[in-house]
Chains A and B, each alone.
Chain A
Amino acid sequence: MKRIKQISVFVENKPGRLLDVVEVLGSNDIDIKAISLADSSDFGIVRLICEDPESAYKVIAKNDFTASLTEVLAIAISDKPGSLAKVLRALKESGINIEYMYGFSAKMKDYAVMIMKVSNLEETIKCCISNNIRILSESDIKSVV
């Protein structure tokens, strides 16, 4: 499996709501691997990568949050100047549009990880393979992150 599951949570833009999300996960022993907060004027979307996305999603939904599971790619990018550009160029040349992206630190020697939501998953996977770009799987996330 080349794709991993991200949990997206709808939050109103008011103090403490992000904390509520994180606390719910924490009190259920769910480890957050990566988090990003996208905001508009009156609401935000919290995007999360967790070890066991299915049960994390269940916990979130059970606590009355509006949430969804989305397929995204976790791409390993070598930790050298210009390597992100190299990946993005490859995607551009395949006509792939990135909807959103965020990075997180990984315990992987010489690599950083970028989470990407793309316009065409299949195309992106093919493009990465042909360009020798490493995509992390769910089990990679568990072991390396």
Chain B
Amino acid sequence: MIYDNEIETLPREALEALQFKRLQQTLEHVYALVPFYKEAFRKANITPSDIKSLKDLHKLPFTTKDDLRDSYPYGMFSMPIDQIVRIHASSGITGKPTVVGYSKADIEEWSQLMARSFVACGVTSKDIIQNAYGYGLFTGGLGAHYGAEKLGAAVIPISGGNTKKQIIIMVDFKSTVLTATPSYAQLLADTIEEMGLLDKINLRVGVFGAEPWSESMRQKLEGKLHITAMDIYGLSEIMGPGVAIECEAKEGLHIWEDAFIPEIIDPDTQEPLEDGQEGELVITTIKKQAMPLIRYRTKDITKIIKEPCKCGRTHRRIQKILGRSDDMIIIRGVNVFPSQIESVLMEIEGLSPHYQLIVDRQNNLDTLEVQVEVDSKIFSDEIRKLQGLQNQIQKDIKDILGITTKVTLVEPRTLLRSEGKAKRVIDKRKI
């Protein structure tokens, strides 16, 4: 199913022409109205008229999260506050939040893109959407909410948390779609199982995003909840959820190129990379009014898939996010993403999906401890069987990542549960 057939299947040439036209308008707009960009362009010795085609995009300077923090709270807005109808802020755990403003037209556009995203991943106007993304400054809740209403589905604005009540509502209201972070979906799934209600739920689609998650976690969630679990991508700085979405082919996420221009760069050299090469995703918004961003460095690691998708959409896809360049842990020179460890753990039959990574440094050597919860499915009354399990996890991680880890089995429910984004890594290194 396609929500906006004309724009979603627009031939590449026409799509790129549209992108260029909108890029020019955006550049003129920010150059004239945002002092930050006027200054940044001056430093880069460039004016909007120097951008003569999409290929010139890389000549423009980057925008970073630090730029947004330095402009706290309203410095990046290109409209006076009386034309702003909504203000969100990023869920950034460290430092000042990054503030984002939306005009009336921005909210309408976001709702459209989100409705488009819902349809692409199999949601229809007949669905009952239980929206367990947090409402508030975080964009997840309201972004999904407006998209669901735009689509004409019934939305239950339950937000995150209140897990048991959440489940009772899910059963009683016969929710068919769950929107949540994958780690909260996992907690919900576990609790549904504990309450013995797995056969009482009516979910058919899960729309999960806001943090990287592995293919094996998808399989677990799908198996347990009998749903098709779809990956949605977005970030508050750019818009919120609905920047990119998986279609039913589940082979990457279509990024809505009529609103955003994606690029992949090498995070170290900052040079643009070809389609198909892995690197940091950089996005330029070309439809936003209140706070357009030029070449925003997302820190998310992915690649652009250039091959056309079998669903017929012409908008290019990005691969499922592997991790964030700043969530990446470097252990003795090896790049490790929590999602890679997660994949290893999920491959082991019966293992609980709750884990935590503790990074430390002892005698000038990095150490990685993987804490895994032991539940009744894998518990044995024989020490050597549990030690065998520890050894197996250790060996599997070594085989895949080439690093030696300490594996610690911990009691169930001792690791922090998350109702929003999971915090998987505790880095105790003092460098």
**A residues bordering B, Cβ < 8 Å?**
6, 8, 10-12, 38-40, 42-43, 45, 47, 61, 64-68, 70, 99-100, 117
**At the interface, yes or no: B83 with Cβ under 8 Å from chain A?**
no
A42 to B414, CA, bound (A): 14
CB-CB nearest in chain B for A46: B381
Q: Which of A6, A45, A66 contacts B412 (CB 8 A)?
A: A66
Which chain A residues lie closer than 8 Å to B414 at the CB level?
12
Q: Which of A12, A40, A117 contacts B381 (CB 8 A)?
A: A117
Most central of A6, A66, A67 by chain B CB within 10 Å = A66
Inter-subunit contact B387/A10 (CB<8 Å): no
Inter-subunit contact A12/B382 (CB<8 Å): no
Which chain B residues lie closer than 8 Å to A45 at the CB level?
381-383, 386
| Given A11-B411, A42-B408, A70-B381, 8 further pairs, Cβ under 8 A | A6-B381, A10-B386, A10-B411, A12-B411, A64-B411, A66-B376, A66-B379, A99-B382
| Given the contacts A12-B410, A12-B414, A100 and B382 also touching, CB distance less than 8 Å | yes
Which chain A residues lie closer than 8 Å to B43 at the CB level?
none
Least CB distance, B82 to chain A, in whole angstroms:
54
Which chain B residues lie closer than 8 Å to A68 at the CB level?
376, 379-381
Q: Which of A40, A42, A67 contacts B379 (CB 8 A)?
A: A67
Which chain A residues lie closer than 8 Å to B412 at the CB level?
64, 66
10 contacts across the A-B interface (CB closer than 8 A): A10-B386, A10-B411, A40-B383, A42-B408, A45-B386, A67-B376, A68-B376, A68-B380, A70-B381, A100-B382
Least CB distance, A78 to chain B, in whole angstroms:
28
Q: Mark B387-409, 1 if CB is under 8 A from A, else 0.
A: 10000000000000000000011
Which chain A residues lie closer than 8 Å to B376 at the CB level?
61, 66-68
Q: Which of A12, A38, A67 contacts B383 (CB 8 A)?
A: A38
Q: Which of A10, A38, A100 contacts B374 (CB 8 A)?
A: A10
A64 to B386, CA, bound (A): 19
**At the interface, yes or no: B413 with Cβ under 8 Å from chain A?**
yes
Which chain B residues lie closer than 8 Å to A100 at the CB level?
382
Which chain B residues lie closer than 8 Å to A70 at the CB level?
381
Inter-subunit contact B386/A40 (CB<8 Å): yes
A66 to B412, CA, bound (A): 7
| Given the contacts A10-B374, A40-B386, A66 and B411 also touching, CB distance less than 8 Å | yes
Inter-subunit contact A64/B383 (CB<8 Å): no
Inter-subunit contact A43/B409 (CB<8 Å): yes
Which chain A residues lie closer than 8 Å to B375 at the CB level?
66
A100 to B374, CA, bound (A): 21
A10 to B381, CA, bound (A): 8
CB-CB nearest in chain A for B384: A99
CB-CB nearest in chain A for B381: A8
A143 to B386, CA, bound (A): 35
Which chain A residues lie closer than 8 Å to B409 at the CB level?
10, 42-43
Q: Mark B24-42, 1 if CB is under 8 A from A, else 0.
A: 0000000000000000000
Least CB distance, B350 to chain A, in whole angstroms:
12
CB-CB nearest in chain A for B373: A66
Least CB distance, A32 to chain B, in whole angstroms:
16
A99 to B379, CA, bound (A): 16
A19 to B195, CA, bound (A): 28
Inter-subunit contact B383/A65 (CB<8 Å): no
Which chain A residues lie closer than 8 Å to B413 at the CB level?
64
A21 to B128, CA, bound (A): 44
A12 to B375, CA, bound (A): 13
Inter-subunit contact B387/A40 (CB<8 Å): yes
A38 to B387, CA, bound (A): 12
Which chain B residues lie closer than 8 Å to A47 at the CB level?
381
| Given the contacts A42-B409, A66-B374, A10 and B379 also touching, CB distance less than 8 Å | yes
A67 to B379, CA, bound (A): 7
A65 to B379, CA, bound (A): 11
